[in-house]
Each structure stands twice: as C-alpha cells, then as structure tokens.
Amino acid sequence: MNTVNYLRISLIDRCNFRCSYCMPEAEELAYLQSQETLTDTELLYLVRGVFVPLGINRFRLTGGEPLLRRGVVSLVEQLVQTPGVMDVSLTTNGYLLEHMAADLYQAGLRRINISLDSLEAQTFRKITGRDQWQRVWAGIERAHQAGFDPLKLNVVILPGVNDHEVVNLAALTLERAWHVRFIEFMPIGNTGYFDQVGWVSSEQIRAQLRAHFGLTTGACFGNGPAEVFQLPGAKGTVGFISQMSECFCDRCNRVRLSADGLLRPCLLNESGQVDLKTLLRTGVRTELIQQQVTDLLVLKQDIHFKERDRGHSTGAYARTMSQIGG
C-alpha cells in the first residue's frame, strides 16, 4: 500500500458544463450555498496545519469547475507558496482558460489537466451539453503558450459516442509534448446513463492504438494511477486510468476533500469520511483534527473498490462525480 501524500481538493460543486458521464441528465442538482463551502482561510488552515504535517504535500484542485471559484488565482498562489507543499495542480474543463491561463501560471501553477473528450464540435456538444469546442481548444492553446508544458488532456471514451476518435486523440501526442489520459467511464451519480451506454476498457483502447501506431513495450507508473505508454516517435505520452477493469487500489496514494469539507478515503467509497468543516467551525483543536485524519488514512488501507457493496447504506454513489471532485 502506497503512502498517502496526495489530496484532491474540490473547490466548488458547480460546473458550467453538463457532461453526460459526470452528471445525471435530467435531474437538477442541489448545489451548495456559499456558506456551506470551505473558505480560502479554512482550506489554507487545513493544508498548513493538518495535511502537510501528516505528510500530504501534493494537491490537485478540482470541482465542479474550479475556475468558477472566486479568487482561485490568489488561492493557487498561496498554496504554491506554502512551506512543505511539493506540488499543486489543477483539473479544468478549459472553458475559462483562454483568459486565466497566464494568471494561473504567473501565480505559480505548473501542472494542469484539461478535459477534452472529442476533437469534433458536434460530439463535444453531445457529451458536454455545450457548444463550446472552439473556446476550450483556444484555452488549451493559450495554456500551452503561457508555459504549461507538458499539458495533460483527460479523455473519457463512451461507446457509440466518441470511441471512433481514439486514434485521433492519441495522435495529439505525436507532435506535441502533451500527455493524453484515457479514463474509463464510471457509474458515479449517473448509473442510468452508464447502464445505457456501457463503457470501453483500457485494453480495448490499447488494442486500437497498437494496431494503428504500435505502443512502446512495457509501462511506467508515475505518481498516480495511470499506466503510461508512448506512440513510436511521439513527443508526448498516452496513459490509461483503468479504475473499472484493472483495479489499482494497491498503488493509490490519494484522498479527496469535497467542497463542503468532507474528507473521503476513496472515490468509490464514503466509509469513514470525516467532516472537516464541522470540526473547524466548532473549534476542535488542530491535533484532534489531525488524529481523525490519521484514523481515516489507516482505514483507507482496508477499502477496496472490488469489495465494496454498490447498494450499501453508506451511499458509495450518493454524490455525482462533479460533487465529489473525482
């Protein structure tokens, strides 16, 4: 079991897209009110007083769409400058990047992941519910120009929707030092759509790429769950995050903090989660908060995706992906 040193922080549960694999299509979500969300002061207190002292020193900012959070550039700057923080990264849908990429880079951010599930405007609209492919692509280009090099592009492949684009998406790595990550579709908060369309395994995608390009033999494992390959002669890499078909729990090094302060040990399981917001706002001492987080990290070792009970009352799927900050 890996040492847990990585925290994904959801800054906001709202998003300006409505991606089919992330949110229920027909339901209106009950978004958090501003007073229900951890403030910048509270987040920085937790990072400096709880997480860094416990050895958690790598942080990824997620959402919803994190760039919708007011003052996000300032928050990034303060996180980057915090003693003991080794890495700060951010995952975005790219919609606001055209105007924010330079400021984020200036604030000290160096790593960014951008969701890009299609190179076709019509397919992009079908997946995201928004006709904004051109704006997202402009944001990707602006981020690259600002200095984010390499970029990471996150791709969820949906059968019958964008699975015909695997080769073209992987080809983005040939002439650019970009990393394309294919992520298996998961049934979190959208089980109806998952049951309707199904999912494409990483091995199916790898088979397409082997047939078209070839892949480098073997794989390397980075700091996260991706299995990484390279197309022959490519400047970038292709990776596969295979949470459905190839369980990687034994090398998981992360926990997740929701926008309303719930620390959960696993994307797929809420067992033992800690309500940090309530602890903070009721004046619980820092060392006691540290102890509860430590207990959660110990519990994490016993949580395993393939052993979970999907219908358990703990509500493993009680929130959508956008609400968890997956």
Q: Where residue 311 falls among pLDDT bands split at 50, 70, 90?
A: very low
Task: Classify burial at 299, counting beta carbons within 10 Å of its beta carbon; exposed 0-12, middle 13-18, buried 19 or more.
Answer: middle
Bridge partners (DSSP) of residue 257 are 9, 263
Residue, of 35 and 192, whose pLDDT is higher: 35
Total number of domains constituting the chain: 1
Q: Does residue 202 register a pLDDT over 70?
A: yes
pLDDT over 70, % of the chain:
82
Is residue 229 over pLDDT 90? Answer: yes
pLDDT of residue 93: 97
More confident residue, 249 or 110: 110
Distance CA 1, CA 254 (A): 11
Using CB atoms within 10 A of its CB, is residue 55 exposed (0-12), middle (13-18) or buried (19+)?
A: exposed
165's CB contacts (< 8 A; 6+ apart) are 118, 119, 120, 123
Q: Which of residues 320 and 141 earns the better pLDDT score?
A: 141
63, part of any domain: yes
Q: In this predicted structure, what is the pLDDT of residue 149?
A: 86
Per the domain annotation, does 1 fall within a domain?
no
Collapsed DSSP state (helix, strand, coil) of residue 211: helix
**Binning pLDDT at 50, 70 and 90, where does residue 217 land?**
low
Does 23 reside within a domain?
yes
Q: Is residue 22 part of a domain?
A: yes
**pLDDT exceeds cutoff 90 at 7:** yes
Does a structural domain hold residue 72? Answer: yes
Tell me what the pLDDT averaged over the chain comes to. Answer: 87
For residues 203 and 306, give the distance between their C-alpha atoms in angstroms, rounded to a whole number: 18
Q: Is the pLDDT of residue 252 over 60?
A: yes
Which range has the worst mean pLDDT, 50-64, 125-139, 213-227?
A: 213-227
Q: How far apart (Å, rounded) are the C-alpha atoms in residues 266 and 248?
A: 12
Cis peptide bond N-terminal to 64, omega within 30: yes
Question: Range with the lowest mean pLDDT among 188-197, 248-257, 267-276?
Answer: 188-197
Residue 43: give its domain's CATH number: 3.20.20.70
> Could you tell me which residue, 18 or 114, shows the higher pLDDT?
114
> In which domain, by residue range, is 186 found?
6-324
Most confidently modeled of 63-77, 220-234, 300-314?
63-77
Residue 192 lies in a domain: yes
Q: Which residue has the tokens 């890009």?
A: 116
